[in-house]
Amino acid sequence: QSVLTQPPSVSGAPGQRVTISCIGSTSNIGTGYDVHWYQQLPGTAPKLLIYGNTNRPSGVPDRFSGSRSGTSASLAITGLQAEDEADYYCQSYDTALSGVLFGGGTKVTVL
């Protein structure tokens, strides 16, 4: 099934740690395809946050980290800050789709 499932929303207080799951299947993450993560601040274009499951582009704080295991992946944000309030999307490749697949997105709210 060509779907990457993310929770619609997660929230946390400043300073806390939150995680966002991205559940795939054997046609995408489970096949070994990398997972990438994007941050979309309100009213702006998505921005690459994590590539190749665990790598942070230059300029991305080390508060953001990614992991992948089996048919799922996760994005963790430690030391949550007000500026982290945004939508987050996972992305991978899907063999059934023969193309790129995005998760449905997760809205992070800082309480």
Partner 1 sequence: QLQLQESVPGLVKPSETLSLTCNVSGGSISGSRYYWAWVRQPPGKGLEWIGNIFYSGTSYYNPSLESRVTISVDTSKNHFSLRLTSVTAADTAVYYCARLSHGDSNWFDPWGRGTPVTVSS
Got the DSSP string for 8-30? SEEEE-TT--EEEEEE--TTTGG
Residue closer to partner 1, measured from CB, 9 or 16: 9
Shortest Å distance, C-beta 14 to partner 1: 26
Shortest Å distance, C-beta 85 to partner 1: 17
Shortest Å distance, C-beta 7 to partner 1: 13
Residue closer to partner 1, measured from CB, 100 or 111: 100
The answer to whether the Cα torsion of 91, 20, 77, 27 is positive or negative is negative
> Interface with partner 1 by CB under 8 A: which residues?
33-34, 36, 38, 44-48, 51-52, 57, 89, 91, 93, 97-105
What is the DSSP pairing of strand 18-23 with strand 106-110? unpaired
Number of helices (H) and strands (E), helices first, in the chain? 0, 9
Residue closer to partner 1, measured from CB, 15 or 57: 57
